[in-house]
Amino acid sequence: MDITTGKSVEFYWPAVNFPIVRTFARQGEVVSLVVNEETGEFFMNGEVEIRGGEIFYFDRSFYLKQGSISFEERLDEFDPWIYALAEIRERDLNNEEIKIYLEANNKISQFSPRFYSEPSRPDVEILNPEHAIANPGPEGSLR
């Protein structure tokens, strides 16, 4: 049986009441479901493009720019693959805008994003902005 995504299809992980990942499926994506009632087998296959949402990580909400969730699942092993590119905009001590990107490309159970920024900043400043504020570099700039 094929299921086509419609309006307002959402994916939450790990839970609806406090999601780390909350995304919206692009309308018209197809996921196949196979259920064998005699054997109890369940299979879910397909890839769903993401059209928006948020990733809440390190006490920040990153806004999804692009991504997908791939399903090759069985009842006894449900662990979809997520690709996500999300960003947040912040300002440094000089009031310069910094775009911080979160990129994930792994199984959802092994969610381990990498971070980078524009303009480029050291990882310690990207992951812990309070460190940059508490330890300003020369002339108040970020180190």
Helix (H, G, I), strand (E, B) or coil at 125: helix
Higher pLDDT, 132 or 106: 106
pLDDT averaged over every residue in the chain: 87
Question: How far apart, in whole angstroms, are the C-alpha atoms of residue 94 and residue 136?
Answer: 10
Confidence of residue 58 (pLDDT cuts 50, 70, 90): confident
Please write the tens of the pLDDT for every residue from 98-119: 999 999 999 999 999 999 999 9
Model confidence at 136: pLDDT above 60:
no
Checking if the pLDDT of 131 tops 90, the result is: no
Closest C-alpha among 12, 25, 115 to residue 62: 115
pLDDT tops 80 at residue 60: yes
